[in-house]
Structure 1
Amino acid sequence: MLDQLSWKVGGQQGEGIESTGAVLATALNRHGYFIYGYRHFSSRIKGGHTNYKIRIATKQRLANADYLDILIAFDQETIDFNAHELRDGGVLIADAKFNPVAPEGKNIRFFAAPLTQIAEDNGSAIMRTMVTVGASAAVLGINPDTFLSVIQDRFLRKGENVVKANMDALQAGMKYINDQGIDLSDLQLAAGDGKERLFLTGNDACGFGSLAAGVRLMPAYPITPASDIMEYLIKKLPDVGGHVLQTEDEIAALTMCIGSSFGGSRVCTSTSGPGLSLMMEAIGLSGITETPLVIFDTQRGGPSTGMPTKHEQSDMYAALWGTHGEIPKIVLSPSNAEECFYMTADAFNYADKYQVPTIVLTDLALSLADQTVEPFDHSKITIDRGRLATAEELAATPEGELFKRYQFAEDGISPRVFPGSKGGIHHVTGVEHNEVGRPIEDAGIRTKMMDKRLGKLAGLELPNSFSFDGDDDYELLLIGVGSTAGLIAEAMERLHAEGQKVAHLHIKALSPFPIASVQSYVERAKKILVIENNATGQLANIMRFNGIKGDFNSQVKYDGNPFVPSEIYNYIKEMN
């Protein structure tokens, strides 16, 4: 029996591709399998080729497989685009409705199955989703009852008859494949462990983490691939007295965040590259007024509109240095959905503690890929509102004078006060100011105020700024950021199996950058490979900018698709 298997369904956008994959993936996740599901989709609402690739395994995998065991095709285009991924002996199930033509030169098991016709015979063509899931279950040797809870969750509100009709369609799909009499026993999966785990995307985890961190307001403007964070919180925030406000644009979203944060709320917004560009002036306002702020930036293909539904990691420069002028800024980069949850909670604490704009930088593969995740430990979540002015400090403000909100504190972090606090009145302005917030152009105060703000993060290394895994006496060091973590881990497995001494350093804080720690790992390596999804090697250049000394080799990919593990492995073999 197999300990992992790769499955894909493809067709035209709007044909139920996502729901087909979601039913299969959710059911198998509930039965103790680890799932990684990635959607390739067009930026059109309807039409254009789309597919959903799922990796099913008995241990966690955080990347697509290099190959396919099973391909489900709803049109010929799916076969033409994806059949090259089918491994020797794989299975292709194509809907007979479009008279499919099998790929040439492939040693596969081919079924021209009447998926649509079976669905119509069972009540409606729309149930082709369930027929397809049933056909897949037959290939995998999975009991149809595995899917009952998922079907009930989806359809029970419409009545028991609808649940039964969908189960009947699923079993009809199973029966058709089983009746063909072809031996498929080599594709049966080993049993899952039956443990209950979460199944969610990075976007879902960011939304969940915001909720756990105490967020009660989210002004935002929809943009792919960040909109799911907004949609998650639209459903959840009203239950705790919170609100999501769809604004007219990203500029309004961020300025509303600044006003809400100034008033004492924990607030966030989400966007992608084009929206982040529009937010830059307001990010500067957050910086000079020292107002805490959390922004989710889910990177996608650029520049301009670029490729809205395709993967890239090209916003790193923008997140770090896009703002005019110079302000301190925290930029975090989680590598999986679990980290999205915990690092989101950390982001709010850091924003409050250091009174700076904080960006949680994900990428399309991380934000939209479905992942099996261990249940979150909410005892790990703490809420730290930072340096709030005490009653004694407020009472000490001389009558008739303003509160020193921007006091020249030794650590650069001035006491913060919420509106309405007696003794806390002060000016707030986007121009340079003195300790009470009054506009001023005095050269000495300007220099001192700049040094105060920039000094907050100077020399700071945040907890969990990176992760390290591998041989202690490594010769090759692989360095990545964001969703490349799972891919690099798999490439390492193959290299370790061949006896190579290799290690993996994954960067999770781009600002403040963990300079000393990264340098200590880099200087021990004979070869260094930095793996990232952009054209110019942004992560490698960020390390150079921060003074990291090393002979960096870069492997970059910027065609809109994530790496697959073999691409990294093969590149390393060529290096050697």
Structure 2
Amino acid sequence: MTTNEFTWKVGGAQGEGIDSTGEILATVLTRMGYYIFAYRHFMSLVKGGHTNYKIRASTDREVKYHGDTLEMLVAFDQTTIDENEDELVEGAVIIHDAKFQASTKRGGAVHLCAVPLSQFAKDLGNSIIKNMVAAGASSYMLGIDPSNFYEQIEAQFGKKGAELVNLNKNAFDQGYNYVKEHYGNLQKPVPVASKPEKARLLMSGNECIGLGATLAGCRILAAYPITPATEILYWVLANLPKFGGKVLQAEDEIAACIMAIGANFAGVRSMTSTSGPGLSLMMEALGMSGISETPLVIVDVQRGGPSTGLPTKTEQSDLYEALYGSHGETPRIVIAPTSIEDCFYQMINAFNLAERYQVPVIVLSDLLMGMNKRSFPDLDLSRVTIDRGEVVTQAQLDEMEKGAFKRYALTESGISPRSFPGMKNGRYCALTNEHEETGLEIEDVPMREAQMKKRFRKLSTLERDVNEWGVDYSGPDGAETILVGFGSTEAQIAEAMEQLGGATNVGHLQLRCLMPFPKDAVRPHLEKAQRVVVVDNNYTGQLAGLLCKEIGFHDKMDVLHKYNGNPFTVSEIVSHVKG
């Protein structure tokens, strides 16, 4: 291998330890100083069905996508070869379990290496330990010193006793030595990375969401388990109690959302996490948050729909649901992190926005970002700030007569100071009916119109600010072609831009805030462009539709769709642009 990168993948049936094999190598490479992106492909089955784990590693730059090609494949079964051989580059190596006669349509373009993974594990008395045999085989073929794996084995299994540590080391050595003896001429030493002074983080988007929420001051997560958002629940359950927080597993998503609203009403920063089907169930509660002006943070880790759809595959088809869902008209903020670490920062942003504007904030992640990991330097904790918005003080309440507090006062900004339960003279009723300034139910026309205008008026300030942080642009001013995406597509579009280079006059807009829409930041680029390529990870072109609604230029729109559950590849984007 002559480049500064390499790619590796392991695959087999679910339940065979595929993820643990990948996790071991991902952790070792990160500790050695490589930048990595680790991608899990799996089916919605507990056992059986094909699954794989791919790692892309670089010595000198951060990687945010798992790559289009593959240099080494570890196959526990023939299905793994059949499903993944199209990614293999010329001269790639396939390490396969010797228990099956491997075949490939690539012929002599790739090298087949039969290794008795299952037999070694059986001889050691533990069938699942073939994942460590595979790690050893991979270690030799990649030219990685075994000591790096020994450190990981001791760290991972040391607390369970020396016997288990020695068993795993033995399994590792069996794989390493067998490949060294039988296929030493095929070794492909990877480029050497420089170990950083400070260890890099290796995290998923779901973990960053949990950490961001915790440091933002969230102290209650109310949720119902649903793939691919369940990992947020697990992470918070393991960590939030250390900070005095609580996790409430509700009976369904409706209850979870209402619990979060109730906790926010009480003054405790709270959230709920879900995926598309759960967000659908939360729609009535979202309207409740809107009309009662109670802050609320909802995280939607998108997956393939509709209905149960593709629970373990990625998609970005909840955009319209997030923007326009709920009966009636409810002001809300919709933001979409653009990378795994941005999930952390946007959770800080989400809680501040929810309390500053007293509206529901929906954070749109997706499975590609949520359930996969990448390594990156430390998070910048100086960016963690807490803004609780306008809260009436007890001194102000003391000056009022009993019952005079106007929770829904018709202010010029549209934001009315709120009180918390227990504050003297601060009591009010947060009705889900339309109400007047103190919260009493009304149906008269002037007050109804005034309250509607007030609720929507409070986003006017954000509409100005969002042009600064709600969109990122890279490329020449006045680019002829503009690539537009939101969320996790940022990585593939950015790499496509690199491959296109100076051959095409191309710019890249990645949207981080989708409502309110950063019109003033987006419009100039679309006005100058001749062609707007929208990278839309759904069937109906929802992002393109939003651009047309907010900006126009229907005649310039060129939509690249993908909705089969797999992420966009860089080559797909490049080919489409070159057309």
Query: TM-score, normalised to structure 2's length?
Result: 0.96
Q: Which amino acid aligns with 1:468?
A: Y
Q: 1:466 offset after TM fit, Å?
A: 0.9
Q: Deviations over 1:430-465 (max 9, x none)?
A: 000000100000100000000000111134442410
Contact 2:484 / 2:510 at 8 angstroms: preserved in 1?
A: yes
For normalisation by structure 1, the TM-score amounts to: 0.97
Quote how far apart the aligned CAs of 1:167 are. 1.7
- Tell me: CA distance 1:181–1:46, structure 2 relative to 1, closer, same or farther (3 Å): closer
> Alpha carbon RMSD of aligned pairs, Å?
1.4
User: 2: CA distance between counterparts of 1:264 and 1:354?
Assistant: 15
**Residue 228 (structure 2) pairs with residue 225 (structure 1):** yes
Deviates more, 1:4-13 or 1:353-362: 4-13
Say whether residues 1:514 and 2:518 are aligned partners.
Answer: yes
After superposition, what is the alpha-carbon deviation per residue over 1:92-132, rounded to whole angstroms, capped at 9, x for unaligned? 01101133334453511110110112223344222111111
Counterpart amino acid of residue 566 in structure 2: N
Matches within 5 A, 1:424-463: 424-458=426-460, 459-462=463-466, 463=468
1:521, distance to aligned residue in structure 2 (A): 1.6
The answer (yes or no) to whether the contact 1:53–1:64 under 8 Å persists in 2 is: yes
Question: Partner letter of residue 540 of structure 1?
Answer: A
Aligned residue pairs total 572
Equivalence for 2:41: 40
Mean Cα displacement is larger for which, 122-131 or 381-390? Answer: 122-131
Aligned partner of 1:221: which letter?
A: Y
2:502 is the alignment partner of 1:501: no
Displacement of 1:213 in angstroms is 0.5
Q: Which amino acid aligns with 2:569?
A: V
Cα deviation for residue 403 of structure 1 reads 1.4
What amino acid does structure 2 have at the position aligned with 1:307? L
Q: Write the distance in 2 (CA, Å) between the matches of 1:125 and 1:327.
A: 55
- Identity rate, percent: 47
Aligned to 1:149: 151
Partner of residue 541, structure 2: 537
Give CA-to-partner distance per residue, 1:160-214, whole Å, 9 cap, x none: 2211221221122111111124423545233244352100100000000001001
Query: Residue 481 of structure 2 corresponds to which residue in structure 1?
Result: 476
Letter of the 2:179 counterpart? I
Give, in angstroms, the shift of residue 335 of structure 1.
1.2
Secondary structure of 1:428's aligned partner: coil
Counterpart residue identity of residue 516, structure 1: D
Q: Contact (CA 8 Å) 2:481, 2:506: kept in 1 or not? A: yes
1:286 maps to a residue whose letter is S
Contact 1:94–1:112, Cα closer than 8 Å, also in 2: yes
> 2 CA distance for matches of 1:186 and 1:220?
46
Is 1:328 aligned to residue 339 of structure 2?
no
Alpha carbons 2:68, 2:571 under 8 Å: kept: yes
**Residues 112 and 138 of structure 1: CA distance in aligned 2, closer, same or farther (over 3 Å):** same
Deviation at 1:564, TM superposition (A): 1.0
Partner residue, 1:168: 170
Render the CA deviation track for 1:251-298: whole Å, top value 9, x for unaligned: 000011111000000001100000000000000000000000001000
Counterpart position of 1:422:
424
For residues 386-427 of structure 1, give each alpha carbon's deviation from its aligned partner in whole angstroms, at most 9, with x where no partner exists.
00002332123213x241000111100001100010110112
Matched, 1:296 2:299: yes
Q: What's 1:243 paired with?
A: 246
CA separation of 1:562 and 1:544: change in aligned 2, threshold 3 A: same
Alignment correspondent of 1:488: 493
Partner of residue 206, structure 2 = 203
Equivalent-residue separation in structure 2 for 1:501 and 1:186 (angstroms)? 38
Aligned mates of 1:469, 1:57 — CA distance in 2: 23
Amino acid at match of 1:518: V
Residue 501 to residue 321, structure 1, CA distance change in 2 (3 Å) = same
Do the aligned partners of residues 525 and 106 (structure 1) sit closer, same or farther apart at CA in structure 2, a change above 3 Å counting? farther
Q: 1:359 maps to what in 2?
A: 362
* Equivalence for 2:14: 13
Secondary structure of the equivalent of 2:273?
Answer: strand
In structure 2, how many angstroms separate the alpha carbons of the residues matched to 1:234 and 1:104?
Answer: 47
What corresponds to 1:528 in structure 2? 532
Report which stretch shifted further, 237-246 or 252-261. Answer: 237-246
Tell me if 1:569 matches 2:574. Answer: yes
Q: Which amino acid aligns with 1:154?
A: Q
Q: Residues 402-417 of structure 1: matches in 2 within 5 Å?
A: 402-417=404-419
Matched residues in 2 for 1:557 and 1:192: separation?
38
Consecutive unaligned residues in structure 2, runs of 5 or more:
none
Q: Structure 1 residues 471, 122: closer, same or farther in 2, change over 3 A?
A: farther
Q: Provide the C-alpha distance between the structure 2 equivalents of 1:177 and 1:186, rounded to a whole number of angstroms.
A: 12
| Cα distance in structure 2, aligned partners of 1:406 and 1:413 | 8
Number of the residue aligned with 1:373:
376
- The Cα offsets for residues 302-340 of structure 1, whole Å up to 9 and x where unpaired, read as 001111011100000000101111111011100111100
Q: What is the distance in 1 between the residues matched to 2:154 and 2:404? A: 62
Q: Which moved more, 1:124-133 or 1:358-367?
A: 124-133
Q: Secondary structure at the match of 1:111?
A: strand
Runs of 4+ in 1 over 6 A off after TM superposition: none
Instruction: Report what 2:351 is aligned to.
Output: 348
SS at match of 1:483: helix
> Does 1:54 find its partner at 2:55?
yes
Letter in 1 for 2:409: Q
**Residue of structure 1 in register with 2:123 after alignment:** 121
Is 1:384 the counterpart of 2:391? The answer is no
Tell me, yes or no, if structure 1 residue 258 matches structure 2 residue 282. Answer: no
Whole-angstrom distance in 1 between the partners of 2:507 and 2:220: 42
Tell whether the 8 Å contact from 1:402 to 1:426 is kept in structure 2 after alignment: no
Range moving further from structure 2, 204-213 or 111-120: 111-120
Alignment-derived partner of residue 101 in structure 1:
103
> For the residues of structure 1 that align with 2:395 and 2:528, how far apart are their CA atoms?
52
> Is the contact between residue 2 and residue 187 of structure 1 (CA under 8 Å) also seen in structure 2?
no
Distance change >3 Å, CA 473–CA 445, structure 1 → 2: closer
More off after superposition, 387-396 vs 245-254: 387-396
- Quote the residue 2:182 is aligned against: 180
